[in-house]
């Protein structure tokens, strides 16, 4: 067990997480870049926060910016050379219907707006804010994207004082709300489908439609968005090498959310636009401790297998353990023995259970559930399995084997050439 935990802690190093909330950051803020560089660990009120098109997050303060959750502060002109002086607000555009705007970064300075893509200023900018965003006031305090599904339509929330101006990207209509219960935001940040209002050195999480705040807020950002002495976990962290990756399980739920599990943590890998980040498994599935052996999704539910127990959760906005669970693997699936990996392909009713060098198929529509077919495999010691519209990946250590379908996997007698896990797949270092 110890080697798995060790590898998992290395993965934890990659994403530098808190056990309760978003990413943390590095304690070294100067690094000799600029003698006037601010120190986040001293308590900084950010001017603006926004991710870019690659999922890296920029934190702005005065004439400086932090590129990502780790590393020193640098002059903002090194990344945005046309920018002169501090900015008021920033956001990344979400507009898939217009690829010319989608994933561009908009920076607001007094009555002007700059549009950048890949740190290159778009032709014709800067412009007056009203040219691009009619009805939106100047001298803003904060801004944040809000895609359809989280807001009523693809929108941008512009903050000024206690007022929130909701800008509909398609219609260019603006609706103004007053959220007097929310602190005055000096910056706002959307991160993994959650929304954060930063004020002073603190932040408050809010609902993007109602502005509702639930939970104990405000919280000190130094506990969650950076690593500082006497805050959060602290310590030096190094990124994970892809060659050191070892997964325990993987699945994609009916909502299209893909999860990788390693030891006591999991990682969302469908949210690469927000960067790759990980959390403790208990954050989403609080009844499951110390990792899982296999996971699969079926019928708006997610099955977590740990030892001889199966935990079944409703895969809604917040995972809820179904009453009466956990149950034994034998009782639920008709399987005996240790499960190495499991997967269910889209629009299918068969759970493919891998044990050693065998794949056992279980019809999830049958009652009781029993093994319907048993196939020998040219592989063994598989760590995790994942099936999507593009085929099957069986993970073993830092590599995976690709098959086009369960039928080809079941009929295969010679293992295909293994491929390496890459940074594009899960954010490790190649």
Q: Do domains 18-223 and 242-426 have the same CATH topology?
A: yes
Cβ contact 213:194 at 8 Å: no
- What is the rounded CA–CA span in Å between residue 147 and residue 96? 10
Q: Tell whether residue 277 is among the known ligand binding residues.
A: yes
Sign, CA dihedral 117-120-124-126, equals positive
236 CB-near residues (< 8 Å, 6+ apart):
none
Residue pointed to by tokens 């690593």? 227
Q: Which two tokens stand for residue 354?
A: 């891998």
Q: Which two tokens stand for residue 44?
A: 């900084």
For residue 97, the model assigns a pLDDT of 87
Instruction: Give the architecture (CATH level 2) of 242-426.
Output: 4 Propeller (2.110)
Of the listed ranges 110-124, 261-275, 290-304, 339-353, the least confidently predicted one is: 261-275
% of the chain with per-residue pLDDT over 70: 87
Q: Tell whether residue 165 is among the known ligand binding residues.
A: no
Of all helices (H) and strands (E), which one includes residue 290? none
- What is the rounded CA–CA span in Å between residue 331 and residue 242? 37
Cα atoms in the 13 Å half-sphere on the side-chain side of 422: 3
Q: Say what the alpha-carbon torsion angle 122, 130, 156, 427 is, to the nearest 10 degrees.
A: 20
Q: Residue 24: pLDDT above 50?
A: no
371 pLDDT band, cuts 50/70/90, is very high
Cβ contact 263:256 at 8 Å: no
Q: Residue 21: pLDDT above 80?
A: no
Domain boundary assignment for the chain: 18-223, 242-426
- 317-341 confidence digits (pLDDT tens): 678 999 999 999 999 999 999 999 9
CATH topology of domain 18-223: Hemopexin (2.110.10)
- 152-188 confidence digits (pLDDT tens): 999 999 999 999 999 999 999 999 999 999 999 999 9
17 CB-near residues (< 8 Å, 6+ apart):
23, 24, 265, 277, 278, 279, 280
For residue 428, the model assigns a pLDDT of 80
Q: Residue 316: pLDDT above 90?
A: no
Of the listed ranges 236-245, 285-294, 327-336, 369-378, the least confidently predicted one is: 236-245
Q: Residue 234: pLDDT above 60?
A: no
Cβ contact 101:112 at 8 Å: no
Q: Of the candidates 386, 329, 345, 339, which has an alpha carbon nearest to the alpha carbon of residue 359?
A: 339
């Amino acid at each position: 067990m110890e080697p798995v935990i060790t590898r998992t802690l290395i993965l934890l190093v990659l994403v530098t997480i808190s056990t309760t909330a978003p990413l943390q950051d590095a304690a070294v803020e100067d690094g000799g870049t600029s003698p006037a560089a601010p120190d986040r660990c001293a308590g900084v009120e950010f001017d603006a926060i926004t991710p870019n098109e690659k999922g890296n997050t920029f934190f702005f303060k005065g004439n400086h910016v932090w590129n990502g959750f780790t590393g020193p502060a640098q002059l903002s002109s090194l990344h945005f050379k046309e920018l002169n002086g501090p900015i008021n607000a920033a956001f990344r555009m979400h507009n898939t219907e217009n690829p010319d705007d989608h994933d561009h970064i908009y920076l607001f300075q007094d009555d002007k707006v700059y549009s950048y893509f890949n740190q290159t200023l778009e032709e014709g900018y800067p412009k007056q804010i009203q040219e691009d965003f009619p009805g939106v006031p100047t001298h803003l305090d904060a801004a944040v994207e809000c895609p359809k599904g989280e807001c009523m339509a693809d929108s941008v929330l512009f903050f000024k004082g206690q007022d929130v101006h909701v800008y509909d990207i398609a219609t260019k209509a603006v609706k103004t709300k007053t959220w007097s219960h929310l602190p005055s935001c000096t910056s706002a940040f959307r991160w993994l489908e959650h929304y954060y209002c930063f004020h002073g050195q603190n932040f408050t999480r809010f609902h993007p439609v109602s502005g509702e705040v639930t939970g104990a807020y405000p919280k000190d950002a130094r506990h969650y968005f950076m690593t500082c002495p006497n805050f959060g976990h602290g310590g030096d962290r190094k990124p994970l090498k892809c060659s050191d990756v070892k997964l325990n399980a993987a699945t994609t739920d009916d909502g299209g959310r893909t999860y990788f599990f390693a030891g006591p943590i999991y990682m969302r890998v469908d949210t690469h636009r927000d960067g790759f980040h990980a959390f403790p498994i208990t954050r989403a599935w609080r009844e499951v401790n110390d990792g899982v052996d296999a996971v699969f999704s079926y019928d708006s539910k997610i099955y977590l297998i740990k030892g001889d127990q199966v935990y079944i959760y409703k895969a809604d906005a917040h995972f809820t353990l179904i009453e009466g669970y956990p149950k034994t693997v034998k009782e639920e699936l008709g399987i005996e023995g240790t499960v190495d990996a499991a997967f269910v392909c889209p629009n299918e009713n068969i759970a493919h259970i891998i044990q050693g060098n065998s794949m056992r198929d279980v019809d999830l529509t049958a009652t009781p559930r029993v093994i319907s077919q048993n196939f020998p495999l040219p592989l063994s010691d598989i760590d995790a399995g994942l099936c999507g519209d593009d085929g099957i990946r069986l993970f073993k250590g830092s590599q995976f084997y690709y098959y086009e379908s369960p039928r080809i996997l079941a009929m295969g007698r010679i293992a295909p050439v293994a491929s390496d896990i890459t940074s594009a797949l899960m954010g490790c270092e190649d």
